């Protein structure tokens, strides 16, 4: 269907400089909606969480949700924004079947949070993404197009509308133009979305699940010839709903727009849709300008004037944010930069920290999650956090190793059992009989047999070559199927042969 000529990425970047802009919508996890008392639970029966206010019935009046305003102020503060002393809601007028009022209550020229920034890291380099504004608005409902092959309205037999989502508090975060990222543009876009998601998750104000739509990114991309001072026309790819897709959408738009410009064409200012299956974007509607929405101050709501005391109280209550946390664990665990990156990329930071909190030593916690369990997660094609093993289990296994009940080799078998659903680490140790054999009588018998079977090696040790004991320890381990206490076995072997 696509008739576009794409320019290979490296070639495009040799001639053009991309400029990005990212608008992110995040649904807040409040228990009630933005302007009414309706529940917000995801996945409820369609149209069961609605009332006259969020259905836009005549005469109904909105009331601002205080918890939502707290949520947006926390986000604004975490993004280093100024929280304004006075602002208003505005009506954004347009028709959409899933928006029963025919307008959205949003903020226009008077947003609540302005002028912030978020630092993101790409390949060891820090990029400061400046934040233009963070404003408060309400979500729309959802249309479901039935009967077509694509789920889009084209080709559908009929459409259904679910208003459960209409009126859920939505925070919109708008960056300033992101410039001078060169060929790192797709990675910077992805790193920004990743860091923003981590930040909002740490604040506990949204579950930020992109696959459920509680965080969605609109990605603006334009190109200008290298060295030019005037920016090109941008496209806006709407509702991109995974981190990987954010990266791919930017990449595709760079290749597509370079093709348009190379052919002497003009990039059209329009909204585009990202196609997950092909990694491409397709044309949507031509983009309207802000004035087309006929914004005006919302007459049904009083202005918002958050007191400085309230803002400072919220600032003081902010949790540790991801960047600070990463700096702290790097220090506390004595990590190299790459080790931290691997932990973060493996999604192991929470798991390791929880394991340490359950009593494990940091090095052991890291070792089990990053080596043994990461390997198993990869084998199963699962995320680490999805494995049926808890930080408490890992802490218990490392405790059993530390106290000498099991060794590393047996610990792996304990994980086999836990992952197979055989119970807690202690239960697996019990059921599989995995205790290290260190008691002198039992071990002594095995050692006598091993010495008898290896007279040459035994002679060497008798002659003073203590290093040769390693071979006998290996034989003891083999004979006990890994359950011997290797250190104790070594002591006993040398004792028997040299005293």
- Nearest Cα to Cα of residue 254 among 84, 3, 8, 2: 8
Rounded to an integer, what distance in angstroms lies between the CA atom of residue 280 and that of residue 115? 32
- Closest separation between CB of residue 378 and Zn ion, Å? 45
Among 7, 22, 34, 36, binds Zn ion (CB under 5 A): 36
Q: Is the dihedral of CA 432, 485, 370, 204 positive or negative?
A: positive
The residue of the chain with the least Cβ separation from Mn ion equals 172
**What are the Cα distances from residue 461, in Å, to 430, 492, 497?**
36, 12, 7
Cβ closest to Mn ion, residue 140 vs residue 407:
140
Question: In this structure, are residues 331 and 365 in contact, taking their beta carbons and an 8 Å threshold?
Answer: no
Look up residue 149 and give its DSSP letter: S
Closest CB 196 distance from Mn ion, rounded Å = 15
Instruction: Find the length of the chain.
Output: 499
> Which of Zn ion, Mn ion, none interacts with 365 (beta carbon under 5 to 8 A by kind)?
none
Is residue 38 involved in binding Zn ion (CB under 5 A)? yes
Q: How many CA atoms lie within 13 A of 308 on its CB side?
A: 0
State the Cα–Cα distance between residues 418 and 356, nearest whole angstrom: 19
Range in contact with Mn ion (rule: CB under 5 A) among 164-172, 242-250, 385-393, 440-448: 164-172
20 or 457, CB closer to Mn ion? 20
With respect to Zn ion, which residue has the nearer C-beta, 39 or 290? 39
Rounded to 5°, the CA angle 10-13-14 comes to: 85
132 near Mn ion (CB under 5 A): no
Local structure of 222: helix, strand or coil: strand
Q: Least distance from C-beta 104 to Mn ion, angstroms?
A: 7
Name the residue nearer to Zn ion (CB basis): 53 or 79: 53
Please answer whether residues 271 and 236 qualify as being in contact, where contact means their C-beta atoms are separated by less than 8 angstroms: yes
Give the count of residues interacting with Zn ion (CB under 5 A): 5
Binding mask 117-146 for Zn ion (x = CB under 5 A): ------------------------------
Residue placing its CB nearer to Zn ion in the complex, 54 or 394: 54
Quick one: which H or E segment has residue 127?
strand 125-138
Tell me whether residue 100 or residue 322 sits nearer to Zn ion (CB atom).
100
Residue from 9, 46, 51, 362 touching Zn ion (CB under 5 A): that is 51
Q: Does 172 bind Mn ion (CB under 5 A)?
A: yes
User: Residue 76's closest CA among 244, 329, 304?
Assistant: 304
Q: Residues 371, 365: contact at Cβ < 8 Å?
A: no
Contact 217, 23 (CB under 8 A): yes
Q: CB under 5 to 8 A by kind: which of Mn ion, Zn ion, none does 55 bind? A: none
Give 263's DSSP letter.
T
CB of 73 to Zn ion, least distance (A): 23
56 or 279: CB nearest Zn ion: 56
- Cα–Cα distance, 40 to 207 (Å, whole number): 13
Of 50 and 384, CB closest to Zn ion: 50
Q: Which is nearer to Zn ion, 52 or 151 (CB)?
A: 52
Site string for Zn ion, 54-83 (x = CB under 5 A): x-----------------------------
Q: Specify whether the CB–CB gap between 362 and 354 falls below 8 A.
A: no
Question: What is the rounded CA–CA span in Å between residue 210 and residue 388?
Answer: 24
- Which entry of Mn ion, Zn ion, none binds 54, CB below 5 to 8 A by partner kind? Zn ion
Choosing among Mn ion, Zn ion, none, which partner's interface includes residue 51 (Cβ < 5 to 8 Å by kind)? Zn ion
Q: How far is the CB of 93 from Zn ion (least distance, A)?
A: 20
* Residue 82 φ then ψ, to 5°: -85, 130
Report, in Å, the least distance between residue 195 CB and Zn ion: 33
Stretch that binds Mn ion, among 70-78, 166-174, 251-259, 422-430 (CB under 5 A): 166-174
Give the nearer residue to Mn ion in terms of CB position, either 121 or 172.
172
**How far is it, in rounded angstroms, from Cα 372 to Cα 465?**
35
Scanning 165-173, 269-277, 278-286, 392-400 for contacts with Mn ion by CB under 5 A, the matching segment is 165-173
The entry of Mn ion, Zn ion, none that residue 172 binds, CB within 5 to 8 Å by partner kind: Mn ion
* Side-chain-side CA neighbours of residue 385 (13 Å): 11
Closest separation between CB of residue 138 and Mn ion, Å?
9
Say if strands 280-286 and 270-275 run parallel, antiparallel, or are unpaired. antiparallel
Binding stretches for Mn ion (CB under 5 A): 172
Binding stretches for Zn ion (CB under 5 A): 36, 38, 51, 53-54
């Amino acid at each position: 269907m696509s008739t576009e000529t794409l320019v290979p990425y490296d070639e495009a970047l040799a001639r053009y400089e991309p400029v990005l802009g990212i608008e992110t919508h995040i649904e807040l996890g409040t228990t009630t909606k933005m302007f009414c008392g309706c529940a917000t639970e995801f996945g409820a029966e369609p149209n069961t969480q609605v009332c006259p206010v969020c259905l836009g019935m005549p005469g109904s009046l909105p009331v601002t949700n205080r918890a939502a305003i707290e949520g947006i102020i926390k986000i604004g503060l975490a993004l280093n924004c100024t929280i304004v002393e006075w602002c208003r809601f505005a009506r954004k007028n347009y028709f959409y079947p899933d928006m029963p009022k025919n307008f959205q209550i949003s903020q226009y020229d008077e947003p609540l949070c302005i002028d912030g920034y978020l630092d993101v890291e790409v390949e060891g380099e820090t990029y400061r993404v400046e934040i233009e504004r963070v404003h408060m608005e309400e979500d729309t409902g959802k249309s479901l197009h039935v009967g077509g092959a694509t789920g889009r309205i084209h080709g559908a037999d009929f459409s259904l509308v679910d208003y459960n989502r209409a009126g859920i508090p939505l925070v919109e975060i708008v960056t300033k133009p992101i410039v001078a990222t060169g060929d790192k543009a797709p990675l910077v876009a992805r790193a920004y979305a990743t860091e923003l998601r981590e930040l909002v998750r740490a604040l506990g104000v949204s579950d930020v699940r992109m696959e459920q739509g509680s965080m969605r990114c609109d990605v603006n991309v334009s190109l200008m010839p290298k060295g030019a001072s005037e920016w090109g026309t941008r496209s806006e790819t709407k509702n991109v709903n995974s981190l990987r897709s954010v990266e791919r959408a930017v990449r595709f738009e760079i290749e597509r727009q370079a093709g348009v410009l190379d052919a002497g064409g003009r990039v059209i200012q329009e909204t585009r849709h990202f196609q997950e299956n092909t990694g491409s974007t397709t044309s949507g509607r031509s983009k309207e300008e802000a004035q087309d929405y006929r914004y005006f101050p919302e007459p049904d709501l009083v202005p918002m004037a958050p007191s400085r005391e309230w803002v400072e109280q919220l600032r003081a209550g902010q949790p540790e944010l991801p960047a600070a946390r990463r700096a702290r664990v790097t220090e506390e665990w004595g990590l190299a930069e790459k080790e931290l990156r691997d932990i973060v990329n493996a999604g192991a930071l929470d798991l390791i920290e929880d394991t340490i909190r359950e009593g494990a030593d940091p090095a052991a916690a890291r070792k089990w999650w990053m080596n043994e369990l990461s390997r198993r997660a990869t084998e199963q094609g699962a995320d680490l956090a999805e494995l049926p093993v808890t930080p408490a289990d890992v802490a218990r296994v490392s405790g059993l190793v530390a106290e000498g009940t099991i060794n590393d080799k047996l610990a792996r078998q304990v994980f086999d059992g836990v992952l197979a659903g055989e119970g807690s680490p202690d239960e697996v140790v019990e059921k599989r009989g995995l205790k290290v054999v260190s008691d002198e009588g039992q071990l002594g018998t095995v050692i006598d047999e091993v010495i008898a079977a290896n007279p040459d090696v035994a002679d060497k040790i008798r002659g003073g070559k203590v290093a040769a004991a390693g071979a006998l320890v290996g034989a003891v381990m083999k004979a006990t199927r890994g359950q011997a206490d290797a250190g104790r076995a070594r002591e006993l072997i040398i004792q028997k042969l040299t005293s």
